[in-house]
Chains A and B, each alone.
Chain A
Amino acid sequence: MAGTVIGEGLTIEGDISGDEEIVIHGNLRGRLTTTDAVTVGGTAVVGADITGASLSVAGQVTGDVTASERVDIQAGGKLVGDIKAARFTIADGASFKGNVDMEV
C-alpha cells in the first residue's frame, strides 16, 4: 500500500502534490492535489482546497474540493466549501455547507 500518510501528530503548512493516494489524520493548512484518492481521517483538520480522483471526509475540511470521480462525507465528517464532482454522498450525521456542481 504505497502512498502518503500524514499521521495524527503531524501538521503541514504548505502544498502537497502527488500522483498517489494521500491519507490525512493530522493537520493541513494549504493545498492538496493528487491524481489518486484522498482520505481525510476522523482526527484530521484540513484548511485547504483539495483536488483528487476521489475524496472521503471523516474529519474536518474547510476549502473547496474537486474530484474527478466522487466525494463522500462520512458520518461525523464536516465540509465547509464547494464540491465539484460527478457523484457525491453526504451521510446521515455528516455536516456540509457549500455548493455542489455535478457537471464535470
Chain B
Amino acid sequence: MPRHPHELSVVGSGTRITGRISGSGALRIEGQVVGDINVNGETELSEGASVEGNLHGESLDIAGSLLGDARSSGAIAVRSSAKVRGELRGAEISIEAGARISVRLETEFELDFGTAQKRR
C-alpha cells in the first residue's frame, strides 16, 4: 500500500479546528482542536497545544493539554509539560513527573504476588 506523499499533518499554533479529524498519517497538533481525533498514525500534542475531545492514535506523545480520553494501540507518553484529564488506554503508558494529571489508567496486566491470592 503506497504511502501518501504528504503524510505528516500539522495543525499550526495559530489554527483552531472545531470538528472531527480522521484518517491516516502522522499528526502533530500545535494549535487547538475541539472534537475527536482518530488517526492511524503517530500523534503528537505539542506543548502549548490543546485538544478537547477523544484522541486515538497509533502512538501518542502528549506534551500539551488534553481534556478527553486517549487510546493507543501502542505507547502513550505523557510529558512533564502536559495537562491531562480523562482515561488513558494503551499498551504502555508512561508519565513524566511534573505532568498535571487526573486520569484513569486502563492497562491490561496481572499482578504477580506469587501466592496466587488475588482479591481483584
- B16 and A26 within 8 A (CB): no
When A and B form their complex, what is the total count of cross-chain residue pairs whose Cβ atoms lie within 8 Å? 100
| Main secondary structure on B side of the interface with A | strand
- In the complex, the answer to whether A10 meets B15 with C-beta atoms within 8 Å is no
Contact (Cβ within 8 A) B27 A10: yes
Cα-based distance from A48 to B8 in the complex (angstroms): 22
Q: Are A15 and B14 in contact (CB under 8 A)?
A: no
Q: Which of B12, B19, B24, B31 contacts A12 (CB 8 A)?
A: B19
B13 on the interface (CB 8 Å rule)?
Answer: yes
The size bracket of the interface on B is 20 to 34
Is B7 in contact with chain A by the CB < 8 A criterion? yes
Interface secondary structure of A, over-half rule: strand
Q: Which residues of B contact A (CB under 8 A)?
A: 4-27, 31, 35, 39-41
8 interchain residue pairs of minimum CB distance? A14-B19, A18-B15, A9-B24, A7-B9, A8-B4, A9-B25, A20-B14, A4-B12
